[in-house]
Amino acid sequence: MSSYREQQKLLNTLKKYTRNFTREEDEEYKMFLKRQKDDEDFDSVSMKRLKELHDKYHKPADRSKYDAFFKKSTDEKT
């Protein structure tokens, strides 16, 4: 159903947020880790839940706000 590599990436990202999990989410995360260690491919329901956890906690940085710092100057001094 899902790729092992994708599972691994999601689990590694979530590792940073384990202290923020609720008890139920922490138990689910530990179950996902056990299944990953057993080299199981997650079914669609488990993968969906893993992605939900990932989306809930991992907010990628908005890099557009850094564009102002790296703009090339249009004034060409000669």
In which domain, by residue range, is 44 found? Answer: 4-57
| H-state helical runs in the chain | 4-14, 23-37, 44-57
pLDDT single digits (tens) 23-34: 999 999 999 999
CA distance 50 to 64: 28
Q: Which of 6, 20, 23 is nearest to 56 (CA)?
A: 20
How many domains does the chain contain in total? Answer: 1
Contact 53, 25 (CB under 8 A): yes
Task: Note whether residue 74 is domain-resident.
Answer: no
Q: Which long-range contacts (CB under 8 A, 24 or more apart) does 22-26 make?
A: 25/53
Task: Note whether residue 70 is domain-resident.
Answer: no
pTM for this structure? 0.71
Residue 76 pLDDT exceeds 70:
no
Six-digit token string for 38: 């057993």
State the pLDDT at residue 1: 46
Task: Note whether residue 51 is domain-resident.
Answer: yes
pLDDT single digits (tens) 33-74: 999 988 888 889 999 999 999 999 998 877 777 777 777 666
